[in-house]
Amino acid sequence: MAISQATLKAKAAFYTKSVKTAQEARASGKKSVFLCHSHKDQDLVKGLIRLFADSNWDVYVDWLDETMPERPNSETADKIKKRIRESDALVFLATEHSMTSRWCPWEIGFADEAKSPSHVLIVPTTTGYSTYGSEYLDVYKRIIPGEGDVIGIFEPGKTSGARIDSVRL
């Protein structure tokens, strides 16, 4: 099961910008996640931020961070590694673009080693014709929509999960 990209685009209409440190998110009682994604999917990213905000999760997105270098370089990599380490988890937004990104597999691999595989979460998406987020990503937990705005986290290969707002990372 995957979340519809149309649903994320609709949620993007209610997007509000929030760039906090992991410590600020935790101090306000929120979970902090690093979003691994393609910059080509900004409309989907904004919808996912809104969806997570509804579940009391704060999402770090690199292109919203004004301290990031304008062009990717070694400083970019160092800042990304720092943010991944500080966050409660890495969330990968699986789309056509992110599945072919050069940065996303690197970020997932880094998080897998630095945080552990249990702190890498996949958001599979569907266009209605194609679904993204399988193959080697099947070894990680999945974030999947339920009824209404409820979303859950599912262990690899399982068909039942826990509400995202009740999960401890």
The domain ranges of the chain are: 3-166
Contact 35, 64 (CB under 8 A): no
Rounded Cα gap, residues 109 and 123, in angstroms = 16
Topology (CATH) of 3-166 = Rossmann fold (3.40.50)
The predicted pLDDT at position 99 comes to: 96
Q: List all residues 6 or more positions away from 30 whose beta carbon is below 8 Å from its beta carbon.
A: 56, 57, 58
Q: What pTM does this model have?
A: 0.90
β partners of residue 33: 59, 89
- Per-residue pLDDT averaged across 62-75, rounded? 91
How does residue 83 score in pLDDT terms, banded at 50, 70 and 90? very high
3 state DSSP class of 149: coil
Residue 67 reports pLDDT greater than 60 = yes
- Per-residue pLDDT averaged across 135-140, rounded? 90
The predicted pLDDT at position 108 comes to: 97
R_g of the chain computed on alpha carbons: 15
Rounded Cα gap, residues 106 and 149, in angstroms = 31
Residue 33 reports pLDDT greater than 80 = yes
Q: Which residue has the tokens 């992110």?
A: 98
The predicted pLDDT at position 25 comes to: 62
Pick from 28-37, 114-123, 153-162 the range whose average pLDDT is largest.
114-123
How does residue 169 score in pLDDT terms, banded at 50, 70 and 90? low
